[in-house]
Amino acid sequence: MRKGSSDLLGNSAWNATAFVVAVALNLAILPFALFRLGPGSLGVAGLVTASIAPALVFSNSLALSTARELARRLAPTDLKDAQRLFATAVALAVGLGGAIAVFFCLAGAPLARIAFHLSGPLADDLGLAFVFTGCGWLCQCVSAVFLTLFSARQDYRRIACISIISTVCTTAAMLILIPLAPRASTFLGCQASGFAMSLFLTLAWSRHSLGEWLARPAFHRDALHRLVRLGGWQLAAQGGALLAAQADRYLLGALLLPQFVGFYTVAQRLQEAMYIGVLKVGETLFPFFSSLHQETEDRKIDLLLRSSWILNVLAASALGGLIPVAGPLLHLWTGAEVAAEAQQVLVVLCVAAILGSSVNVFAFYLLAQGRSRDTALISLVTGTFTLATSAIALPLFGWRAAGCSTCVGMLAQIALTVFLLKRSSSLAGMGTRVFHLVLMPLGLGIVTALLLRYGLDCAKPDLVAAWWSVGSVASLSAAAILVVAVAASQLGPYGALCRRDLRAIVARFAPFGAV
């Protein structure tokens, strides 16, 4: 148990390291790209990315199902079976993935011109933009299958190194090429170069360290059946997640000018940076849960809820720290115009992300247990509520209503997830555990963050004078939320459990092993 917990924390640390590097470079390069391209071209790049997002339904589903099946076949006696699974997954990625990429390269631009009413110079660049984006997605799709060889073994050190190198290549390409050709296609082409580098590194590293587990692309009926059985439900789950993530962007592109998509992209990029960081820390739980298929149900539920509490406190602190300083942060990062337009949207998106963090661990758990039908149902309900709310709110209240639909979708997601968890578990005091370990830290985080924002608005400090002032206030806000969430956890019936897990984390990461 101690070794498993230590490995899990170590893997989370590697994921967090890769994320910190990626987010630092991405957030640093975005103002540069916004200044060189302008909100219109950046908005077109966002629309192209959103247009090809449905392809991620296939690639993400394939990667998740492959990782789960390989995580169950790590013994040398399972080598042949694992090779057949890998060969089938690669064949699907190259065959179906190639067909999807060709479709977007050929049909993406004409369809986008119609759907988003694009014309003029911005529309002239769409053809090349879709070619770059389609090729980049195909590289991402194939490399994701090879990366499952490492994620199934919980080897996040190599995954982190690949991510860091590819992000550095993308950033360097943008610094060099965007000034030479300030177009949306250049921005997307630089992103595609990062995916290509990731594919190259993944191929080289997997051949060097896991060569005996590789196999040529081929379809094997038994392997295909296993991948489709899990991946079929994942297609529905990913489709619902797509609706939830892209609904506002699709409707903004159809109803308003591309520049509003650019403003939304800036706010969403900042919120996503924090949200994905928390998600990356918890991503290591998927193969870990998959490896516990022989454990008792009570043991799994106990680990599920304890992991959820830790990640929820982290999510509330990290995302909540952005809420009080949303305006000054955007002002310093991208300028006064973007700050005026996007700060309210950023606050709403951060609240939605905190709410959405409540079910991340549950999603990994359900997927690892093969309960793909439940994950699909949760995603479809979330996407439906998000799209319906967005379709009503945006025409009535304009672009500033963007993000409100995501909050509604996340609330529906929480309600359904808690219902499914309580229905499937016989653990005593399940409702109390869910409230104490899942809902309470998130609710307190949101309330504390909004109160701090109100207090700053009343005090009106000059935070836009320097980065250090914004960073200090954001850090203090995150620390205050952390203190409130941890203090509240000590008051309930599971305070001793929370203290024990906190001591384990401090002991794992404190210098020289000191507690």
Residue-level pLDDT at 351: 93
**Could you read off the pLDDT of 220-254 as tens digits, one per residue?**
888 888 887 765 666 666 676 776 677 787 888 88
pTM of the model: 0.73
Residue-level pLDDT at 211: 85
Q: Are 369 and 288 in contact (CB under 8 A)?
A: no
- Distance between CA 259 and CA 294 in Å, rounded? 53
Residue-level pLDDT at 393: 86
- Radius of gyration, CA atoms only, the chain: 22
Residue-level pLDDT at 481: 94
Distance of alpha carbon 511 from the chain centroid: 30
- Distance between CA 143 and CA 138 in Å, rounded? 9
**Could you read off the pLDDT of 109-136 as tens digits, one per residue?**
999 999 888 887 878 899 999 999 999 9
Q: What is the 3-state secondary structure (H, E, C) of 128-191?
A: HHHHHHHHHHHHHHHHHHHHHHHHCCCCHHHHHHHHHHHHHHHHHHHHHHCCCCCCHHHHHHHH
DSSP-based helix, strand, coil % in the chain, nearest 5: 85, 0, 15
Q: Are 316 and 444 in contact (CB under 8 A)?
A: yes
Residue-level pLDDT at 248: 80
Residue-level pLDDT at 246: 77
- Distance between CA 456 and CA 347 in Å, rounded? 14
Question: Half-sphere exposure of residue 271, counting CA atoms within 13 Å on the CB side?
Answer: 28
Query: Which ranges of the chain have pLDDT less than 70?
Result: 1-13, 15-16, 230-238, 240, 243-244, 279-300, 364, 367-370, 372, 425-428, 464-465, 505-515
**Structure token digits, residue 250:** 């699709």
